[in-house]
Amino acid sequence: MGKLVRNPWVWVTALAVIVGGWWWLSREETYEVPGSLCDMVVDPQITEALLPPGEKLEVAESSTGGSGISAACRVDVDGKSALHVEIYHFETSFQDLRDWHEVVSGSFGFAAVEEDRIEGDNILLASNGSLMRAECPNGTDTVLDINVRGYAISPGQESAEGRQHMKDFTAAVMASAKEQYGC
């Protein structure tokens, strides 16, 4: 046993096994974020800022039904809802964005804490959700509304950084939707 302990290769091998085992056990597997959601092109880095860490990401297209929703999808991370996107494309709304959000209280999945504008379009947002409207100035008298719900952030985690991530994501979805719907 004395010769085995004095052999430097035993120590090198033992150290390699310990370091390799530590690395294997401590590694955090991550998923690949897609470059589009609901057929809208979105930079994966922008989407990733709204998602929790995890191992498996799944995107499911949701049924749009007859509620005016043109496209909808849900992102699950490790089997839990992380992000939901709805795109509405319809004739000019009879309500302004704030009124619509308040009348349909709770159905948009977030309590708006900030009003803003992105390239002339109105947006209501919080760290865990947004509602944005764009008029389509193409002679069709239609609007695009984008509703995003982020389930990885609870209302108690409201922050300026979280709102900025939500704003960036919603703006990216809106830009792609405008192109797709001809707005």
**Residue 84 maps to a domain:** yes
**Residue 20 maps to a domain:** no
Provide the pLDDT for residue 83: 92
Higher pLDDT, 116 or 99: 116
Q: pLDDT digits over 27-48, tens only? A: 455 788 989 888 889 999 999 9
Query: To the nearest whole percent, how much of the chain has pLDDT over 90?
Result: 24
Q: pLDDT digits over 122-176, tens only? A: 888 888 888 888 888 766 667 888 888 888 877 667 888 988 999 999 999 999 9
**Residue 3 maps to a domain:** no
155 SS3 class: helix
**Residue 27 maps to a domain:** no
**Residue 159 maps to a domain:** yes
Q: For the chain, how many structural domains are there in total?
A: 1
**Residue 23 maps to a domain:** no
**Residue 114 maps to a domain:** yes
With a threshold of 0.85, does the pTM exceed it?
no
- Length of the chain counted residue by residue: 183
**Residue 131 maps to a domain:** yes
Residue ranges making up the domain that contains 106: 36-181
For range 9-24, the mean pLDDT: 49
Alpha-carbon span 162 to 103, nearest angstrom: 25
Residues 130, 166 contacting (CB under 8 angstroms)? yes
What is the number of alpha carbons within 13 Å of residue 14 lying toward its C-beta?
A: 8
Residue 127 sits in a domain whose CATH number is 3.40.1000
124 bridge partner residues: 115, 131
